[in-house]
Amino acid sequence: MAAVAQETLASFSPQQIPQSSRWGLTHLPSVPQRQIRHRASPGKLRNSSPFVRAWQKNDHVPPEPPVNIESGPGKLVTRGDAAVARLQKLQCAGTPAGGASPLPLESIPRRQRRDRKLKLWNKYRISNIPSLIFLDATTGKVVCRNGLLVIRDDPEGLEFPWGPKPFREVIAGPLLRNNGQSLESSSLEGSHVGVYFSAHWCPPCRSLTRVLVESYRKIKEAGQKFEIIFVSADRSEDSFKQYFSEMPWLAVPYTDEARRSRLNRLYGIQGIPTLIVLDPQGEVITRQGRVEVLNDADCREFPWHPKPVLELSDSNAVQLNEGPCLVLFVDSEDDGESEAAKQLIQPIAEKIIAKYKAKEEEAPLLFFVAGEDDMTDSLRDYTNLPEAAPLLTILDMSARAKYVMDVEEITPAIVEAFVNDFLAEKLKPEPI
């Protein structure tokens, strides 16, 4: 028990899903074309909506069903129940012989549950449940994002406190090509690496793989040192072999389940497909390799260092659901308006990103510029925003909240004050 007590656990149960969790965003009332201003009736879904289509096209699929039911004599056990049982077993492992039974896990007081729950949900970018995150109780820093795999793979707590290991150490061992050739992981030295979590049974994965094969070919033809490692979430070795036969890159052997699990743990994988791009030293460049590949068909921006401000598009709209997002709506029919808006926001975005990077934390906001297109129209309709442009907003989908700054002229000072007030919780939210 003492060992486990040294860590703080952030756990989310099925009963704690916000009403607008990532699954709920497939139900967006929206309008296909800007000239039609009649909103859908409450609760109605127009499946032709470009925002809905973009969400479905870009949705991540959990590597396992969100709630996996195991049958037992006279009972049903969810993955959440199993996780609690394993945690209590670990507590027992740290209790002296003959000591007390494991303590119950602490929870947020009911009267504080909604607000604190949503803050935790956003802070740790939770996308499916159950999720278990281990934190260092002294510093508050994340030790491991994929605690469910940790307690499954190390039920006795022998590797406690489960801190992250270097990529080179985790990947060490033989890697395969689809012709059966085996290479040592040391062959990756000096290369950028894409770690590709995917599975044949997952339709978005198969779609991305087709695009990724072309991107891989273009990067290699350009003389860049780049390799991809496929980490399978397939349900059988036959499925793995069938899927891997379509791929020109390397893979962790399907039979090496321990290494595949360690890679999932290292990067806190919550859904597939996911493409993590690493620099030659094994440090993460971007976790959004999937979005970058879809946005950069010619791979001109490889290795895809993150941009402080993104232009909202079909392929990156899924990121609106990862946490609060500052979105500046502009009239893109005016030449140069979108670029000018990005330049206006960028210094503030860079400042916020640098501040949190120094604390080894993810920035609490993503930054977007939205022009005039079907995607933007659908987003405006869903969030019930006015048609004004420019329009400065912060959208928090998980909390179903929006913050709107509707002024004639938007300046860097206005943006910075708006962001600072949001982070200090001084702004009053409006419901979405």
What is the per-residue pLDDT for 44?
33
- pLDDT band with cut points at 50, 70 and 90 for residue 81: low
- pLDDT band with cut points at 50, 70 and 90 for residue 120: confident
Whole-angstrom CA distances from 401 to 170, 323, 398, 406 are 40, 11, 8, 16
- Among 51-55, 355-359, 422-426, the range scoring the smallest mean pLDDT is 51-55
Cis-peptide into 130, omega within 30 deg: yes
More confident residue, 254 or 398: 254
Contacts with 313 (C-beta within 8 Å, 6 or more apart), sequence order: 295, 375
Over range 94-101, report the average pLDDT: 49
Sheet holding 142-144, edge to edge: 7-12, 131-136, 142-144
What is the per-residue pLDDT for 7?
42
Contact 180, 196 (CB under 8 A): no
Contacts with 2 (C-beta within 8 Å, 6 or more apart), sequence order: 94, 95
Element (H, E) at 79: helix 79-93
- Among 24-28, 49-53, 120-124, the range scoring the smallest mean pLDDT is 24-28
Mean pLDDT value across the chain: 80
Exposed e or buried b per residue across 255-289, where buried means at least 16 C-beta atoms within 10 angstroms of its C-beta: ebeebbbbbbbbbbbbbbbbbbbbeeeeeebbbbb
- pLDDT band with cut points at 50, 70 and 90 for residue 27: very low
pLDDT at 140 over 60: yes
- Among 49-58, 142-151, 276-285, 297-306, the range scoring the smallest mean pLDDT is 49-58
What is the per-residue pLDDT for 130?
82
Over range 185-212, report the average pLDDT: 96
**361 strand-pairing partners:** none
What is the per-residue pLDDT for 91?
60
pTM for this structure? 0.72
- Among 87-101, 202-216, 308-322, 358-372, the range scoring the smallest mean pLDDT is 87-101
pLDDT at 155 over 90: no
- pLDDT band with cut points at 50, 70 and 90 for residue 2: very low
What is the per-residue pLDDT for 417?
96
Give percent of the chain above pLDDT 90: 51
Q: Is 195 strand, coil or helix?
A: strand
What is the per-residue pLDDT for 25?
31
Beta-sheet strands, E only, within 141-246: 142-144, 174-176, 182-184, 192-198, 226-232
- pLDDT band with cut points at 50, 70 and 90 for residue 304: very high
Locus of tokens 């499925």: 239
- pLDDT band with cut points at 50, 70 and 90 for residue 401: very high
- Among 15-24, 200-209, 298-307, 423-432, the range scoring the smallest mean pLDDT is 15-24
Neighbours of 44 (CB within 10 A): 10
What is the per-residue pLDDT for 139?
81
Over range 388-395, report the average pLDDT: 94
Element (H, E) at 120: helix 113-123
What is the per-residue pLDDT for 62?
63
Nearest to 235 by CA among 65, 59, 23: 65
What is the per-residue pLDDT for 97?
46
- pLDDT band with cut points at 50, 70 and 90 for residue 71: very low
- pLDDT band with cut points at 50, 70 and 90 for residue 107: confident
Specify the amino acid at residue 241. K
What is the per-residue pLDDT for 89?
64
Highest mean pLDDT (candidates 113-127, 221-235, 315-329): 221-235
Over range 174-188, report the average pLDDT: 96
What is the per-residue pLDDT for 13?
37
